[in-house]
Amino acid sequence: MTIEFETPKPIAQTQFVLKTVAENMMRLTSREMDENEHEIPFGYIEFMHNAMRSIGSGSLAPKEEKPKEGDEKKEKRPPIAYQNLAAQIEMLSWGDVGFYLVTPGGGLGAAAVQAAGSPEQRAKFLSRFNEEKPTFAAMCMTEAGAGSDTSAIRTRAVLDEATNEWVINGEKIFVTAGEKSFNCREQFGKGFIVVWASIDPAAGRAGMRAFVVEAGAPGVKVVGLEHKLGIRASDTATISLVDARVPYDNILGSPTVEKTTTGFKGAMATFDMTRPLVAASGIGVARAALEFLKEKLAESGVEIRYGLPRNKLTSVEKDVIDMEIQLRSAWLLVLKAVWMADNKKPNALESSMSKVRAGDVVTKITQKAVEIMGPLGYSREFLLEKWFRDAKITDIYEGTGQINRLVVARQILGYSGKELR
């Protein structure tokens, strides 16, 4: 199998539709949503849910194509589920990354079910994202004492054999879409959160498991919402679990502790699927900033002369060309990582590489664009300063740049987590 660099027709068609949404809905209200943090754009959510269903993509969640009768006679099409998702996310983030994060879909919660759930669990929980009401899901992993080191999680799950339920206690912070996934049950479909907890703290990483906790479950509360530098249209919640009861079958993976780190590997498999998607989101923000900068330079009579030797270019021309090189190289890393995901190839190395590169690129491009624009880039007259604020999160969530660099080094050098920290 080879990677095709030409955009498949289904992806190109979806991009065309989403660009119209980005220009005529997201960009027009970006500033308003940024200034009114925690307001939920119900109109946008409803529109996007219906739009995504009408173009056959469903909500923003991986969708596996099922073979139809007679397909065995046709030439088999290469899988493009994650490639399609990356293209969608890049375009929506080009419109507004905060809005993208409130687009209906499974997000990290669905990705965890997809990566660590059984076929029955995937059918049960993922099917609801294509139902009539828009639905959200969230991943609850980070804790006050367990940020980048996810193996340090202290949330505990204990099996109550009398009722055959899991009892979970702990508190999760920085939960993206936690409010919409767990509350707002009248407005949205039956959402859920995926809570990572230990069923045996003495077993370390081997005792880690994920549990699907349905919206409105007793003992679970959204106890706070973060005020943030960027992505302000997206809610980031703190969720408390006090004697929360979860059905036995809602555990993702084996309920028994083995000597292997199967549970922890389930978490990492989730990140292998989603880190390239976060990278795609950052690239969308970077592209928005770069295109805006080039547009304003053109209005001022500054032409980028691509055919000249570098020593004959102006400083601004060199900067713009360097920004374009960074953007394209980052996107190629994303394409490789999602192509590998679609073809069920191990992509831990490529996934983290794409995330590291995109985090660097979006930060540098938005900062340089503000710098070249000067006071206008720093002012609130344009969205550039907002994109600058939105950019940095790409390097933080889904594993910080430092952690992903460790992952890359371990993969290349063949070291374990204990050997290279």
As annotated, the active-site residues are 398
Distance of CA 25 to the CA centre of its chain: 21
CA distance readout (Å), 80 to 7, 55, 274: 10, 16, 15
Contacting residues for 309 by C-beta, under 8 A, at least 6 apart: none
